Amino acid sequence: MKYAKQVKLADELVDELRKRVSDYVFTTGFDANGWPTISLTADATPATTEDNVFIRIRPRDWNLQKDVLGLDQTVFVPSVIQLAVEAPASGVGLARFTSIAHALSLLTTCSKRGTRFEYWEETNGTVPTITTFNTGSKLKASIEPELYWPLIESQ
């Protein structure tokens, strides 16, 4: 599998999040590129102004993703965890629709994986989905991997 590393990271992330925020409804899948996705919703029917979170794990951009024959190769570069929530009607802040307890659990669980972590906000009135990551202006913050333990970055 081309993105086996990202799939394994997604599985580990889901396992840990199920322990920390067990009241979410978890749905896992893949986007059109084959990158794993995780949807966390307050109930089985996500709607706007609810506690909805969408996560995608993808490899970092790398221009040399071809082998010597020009074929796609397994991607060994570090990963990126992208987390998207619905933006509040005014102001900024994750905790508008996502509780503080959920926000802290989500942010710490995602950011300590040794990957680049990106925080995205979908327009107010829209449930975050895979399309959230198509608009660069929705990226609100990013954290680079831990510099103290640089080998962890290979995740």
With respect to residue 116, please indicate whether it lies within any of the assigned structural domains: yes
With respect to residue 120, please indicate whether it lies within any of the assigned structural domains: yes
Structural domain tally of the chain? 1
With respect to residue 66, please indicate whether it lies within any of the assigned structural domains: no
With respect to residue 107, please indicate whether it lies within any of the assigned structural domains: yes
Please write the tens of the pLDDT for every residue from 58-85.
988 776 667 778 777 666 667 899 999 9
User: Pairing between strand 25-30 and 36-41?
Assistant: antiparallel
Cβ(36)–Cβ(13) below 8 Å: no
Domain that holds residue 12: 4-61+73-144
The percentage of the chain sitting over the pLDDT mark of 70, rounded to a whole number, equals: 83
With respect to residue 13, please indicate whether it lies within any of the assigned structural domains: yes
With respect to residue 50, please indicate whether it lies within any of the assigned structural domains: yes
With respect to residue 123, please indicate whether it lies within any of the assigned structural domains: yes
With respect to residue 91, please indicate whether it lies within any of the assigned structural domains: yes
Q: What is the pTM of this model?
A: 0.84
Residue 134 pLDDT: 94
* Nearest alpha carbon to residue 138 among 67, 85, 66, 81: 85
Cβ(27)–Cβ(74) below 8 Å: no
Mean pLDDT, to the nearest integer, of 11-33? 93
